[in-house]
Amino acid sequence: MLTHRIIPCLDIKDGRTVKGVNFVDLRDAGDPVELAVQYAAQGADELVFLDITATNEKRRTLAELVRKIASLLNIPFTVGGGISSVEDVSILLESGADKIAVNSAAVKRPELITELASKFGSQCVVVAVDAKKVEGKWLVHLNGGKLQTEIDLFDWVKEIERRGGGEILFTSMDHDGTKNGFANEALEKITSLVNIPVIASGGAGSKSHFSDVFKNGKADAALAASVFHFGEISIPELKVYLQQNGISVRV
C-alpha cells in the first residue's frame, strides 16, 4: 500500500515564517530553521519552504537559508518562490534542496518544466498550482494568487505531466487558511487525470480533514501550515489517527 505523506509548509517572508488566510493577512509563525528541525523530529515526511517575497536579489539569501536547513535536516525538502530559470534551480539544489517548486514562471513559459526535467530529472521538479473557482470554473492564478489567468486548472495539470513535471502541489485559494477542509472534489478530478503524485494544500483544520483528503481527494500527500505552526495538530497524533482510520503513513 502506498504510504501517504504529511508535509508542513513554511511560507517565508524576510527570513521569517508567516501564515495568512486566502493568501492575505499574514502573521508571524516563527523561525523557519527552528520549525524545520522540530517538524523533522516530530516525524514529518517532507518539508516545503516557499519564499513568498522572492526576488532575484534575495535568491542568494534563500540559498544561504537552504544550506543551513540542509545541514540540520534528515528528511527531503522542497524550495520554491520566484524560481524562473535553470540557473536558479542549480543554485538551490547545489545548496542542498532535494526538490524545487516552480509556479508562475512555468505558467508563463511552460517550456521551463521540460528544461528543468531534462537537466535535473523529473523527480526533483514540483509544479505548484494556485487556483480558485471563478463562475463555476477552476482557474489558475499567478503571483501569489494576485493575478487571474484564463487557464483551466485541469488542462494545466495534464500539461504539467506531459512536460515532465514530477509532482503537482495544488493549492485551492478558496480553502487556504480557512481550516474548513481541502478541495477534495477538485483533487479527486486532478488525481484521476494524472499519474504523478499530487500534494493537496489549502484548508487543513482538523485530523479528519487529512483523512478525507486521502480517502476522498485521493491525494498522495497533504500539506498544511498554521495547524502545525500554532500547535493545533501534532504530527505524531495525526499519524496515529490516520493509521487508526486505515490510512498508510510512515511512523
* CB contact set of 242 (below 8 Å; sequence gap of 6+): 4, 207, 210, 211, 214, 249
Q: Is 11 among the residues known to form the active site? A: yes
Task: Name 250's bridge partners.
Answer: none
- Total number of residues shown for the chain: 251
For residue 247, what is its C-alpha cell? 490510512
Q: CA distances (Å), 29 to each of 9, 19, 24, 94, 244, in order?
A: 11, 7, 14, 28, 30
Q: Is 101 in contact with 50 (CB distance < 8 Å)? A: yes
Q: CA distances (Å), 218 to each of 83, 134, 204, in order?
A: 28, 23, 15
Catalytic pick from 88, 130, 176, 212? 130
| Residues belonging to the active site | 11, 130
